Structure 1
Amino acid sequence: MKPTYRIFSAVVLGSLALDQATKVLIDRTMDLYQSIPVIDGLFSITYLRNRGAAFSFLADFSYRLPFFILVSVVALAVIAVTFRKLRDDQHLAAAALALIFSGALGNLIDRVRLGEVIDFLDVYWKTYHWPAFNVADSAICVGVALLAVDMIREERRKAP
């Protein structure tokens, strides 16, 4: 098996397992809206359900569930096609795409299973709250950042 396939598989399986395990743990051990302070004034574990996308975008849209499922499936297909075009030496890009893929898949699983996404990571400063998120959301953000780094590296590699 090619190194990029091993990287992709390992990252997807690890990230997806962590995402789903943490969501099951939160769902089974906490009440909805329950909050457990971890770092006072900065970070809590808070059990929330998000019907929308980032920042609850389109949460009240009547066709939100089929829309988000369709967007997720298309995104997964685009990522898979993009991954197949990678060279064997593009390990960082493989890891980045795997993180994005696993994050999209993790949230898709929630939407299909529950009709909404479990969020629980609550970062705030005094009264200013960042919208709650989960491991899948984090994987997507880290994956996008790593993909940007890889793209910059690729441009530098091609430059004379």
Structure 2
Amino acid sequence: MSELDNTSVNTSRRPLFWGRLSSFVLIVVLICVLVDQGTKIWLVHGFDIAANGPVQALPFLDIVLVWNRGISYGLFQQNSDLGRWLLAGLTVVVSIGLWIWSTRCDTKLVALALALVIGGAVGNGIDRLTYGAVVDFVHFHVGTFSWYVFNMADVWIVAGVVGLLYDSFRNGPNSAAK
């Protein structure tokens, strides 16, 4: 009997769009999108921040309305319909890619991190399709220092990226790629 006969080969294939932690990822994505869209809908339509103007919530935090037609930090501003649809399409492609990655991950930390990024991307993508721009409203500032204006979707994306970075440093350079 050869050595190859004694080894078992795992021939089972993972489904492309569903994995062990996919239910968890889907729930987190839905929560992120609901919280993000809920805050934006309330600010734009319920509170009507456009008519009422900025609100100082804390000495270092204002609630304002900024229509971001670009991507993170207002980069790549797109004032045309073509730009809007290209960014929306990019959001769909990236979200699908991250979802497929999430079907292959084996740890809840990576699954959570990917879910946060997907949830944030979907939340901002909904804005882009609905309004033609992303609704940003949280503005941190201290004295003359002013941070960029962001929303809950941006918080989810940053938290997800931090989680992926933490996992990659905690377990070695190739752990998040698995």
1:10 to partner: Cα distance: 2.1
Moved segments of 4+, more than 4 Å: none
| Larger displacement relative to structure 2 (66-75 or 24-33) | 24-33
Judge conservation of contact 2:69–2:79 (CA < 8 Å) in 1: no
Report if the CA contact (8 A) 1:19-1:106 is conserved: yes
Distance, in Å, in 2 between the alignment partners of 1:84 and 1:157 is 17
Q: Higher Cα Rg: structure 1 or 2?
A: 2
Gaps of 5+ in 2: 1-17
Q: Could you tell me the percent identity over the aligned residues?
A: 28
**Equivalence map 1:1-160=2 (5 Å):** 4-28=21-45, 29-32=47-50, 34-40=53-59, 42-60=60-78, 62=80, 63-87=82-106, 90-155=107-172
- Cα distance, 1:2–1:80 mapped onto 2, change above 3 Å: closer
Q: Is the 8 A contact 1:12 1:102 kept in 2?
A: yes
**TM-score, normalised on structure 2?**
0.79
Structure 1 segments unaligned to the other structure (5+ residues): none
Q: Which amino acid aligns with 1:92?
A: L
Task: For residue 32 of structure 1, report the CA deviation from its aligned partner.
Answer: 2.2
Q: What CA deviation, in whole Å up to 9, does each residue of 1:42-90 have, x standing for no partner?
A: 1111122111112221224643202211210111111011111112xx0
Separation in structure 1 between the aligned mates of residue 169 and residue 43 of structure 2, nearest angstrom: 38
> Is contact 1:122–1:131 with CA below 8 Å preserved after alignment?
yes
What is the TM-score with the length of structure 1 in the denominator? 0.88
